[in-house]
Amino acid sequence: MDAETRLYPRIKVRWPVSILTKDQAVHGITRNISVNGAYIYYYKPHLDALPLRPKQRVGAIIKLPGRLPLLINAEVAWSDILNSDEQNTLLGVGLRFLELFYADREFLHKAISQGLAKK
């Protein structure tokens, strides 16, 4: 089993997210999240399936069940094409959170701690 090398633990979640660039809005789902970043995947039609660029600054709105959304300024850590079919391309992106409200960071910390305790 591989040892976890991240500084902050992550939990698996499936929360809707919108990534906002100056040119487009990308709508996807979180796969996992920590207090410092998230892994997100989304589908795009083939003609629009360009991955986000590493170091690109973006906004992110993560919609949470029963709570106001998280509003985050982030940087693309990595982006990749994960899969493709006849019509769509599945893309993945790792976001590094640059700015996050204190209350939102505390919410994530608590949610992650509770999620890890359930394992």
Secondary structure letter of residue 9 according to DSSP? -
Average pLDDT score over residue span 49-73: 91
- For residues 12-30, give the mean pLDDT: 93
Q: Provide the pLDDT for residue 35.
A: 92
Judged by average pLDDT, the poorest of 7-21, 42-56, 62-76, 101-115 is: 42-56
Q: What is the DSSP track for 54-118? A: TT-EEEEEEEETTEEEEEEEEEEEEEEEEEE-SSEEEEEEEEEEEEE-HHHHHHHHHHHHHHHHT
Compute the residue count for the chain: 119
Q: How far is CA 18 from CA 1, 28, 30, 59, in A?
A: 33, 6, 10, 8
pLDDT above 90 as % of the chain: 53
φ/ψ region of 17 (left if φ > 0, alpha if ψ in -120 to 50, else beta) reads beta
Residue 117 has pLDDT above 90, yes or no: no
Domains and CATH numbers, the chain: 11-117 (2.40.10.220)
User: CB–CB of 20/61 below 8 Å?
Assistant: yes
**Total-model pTM:** 0.85
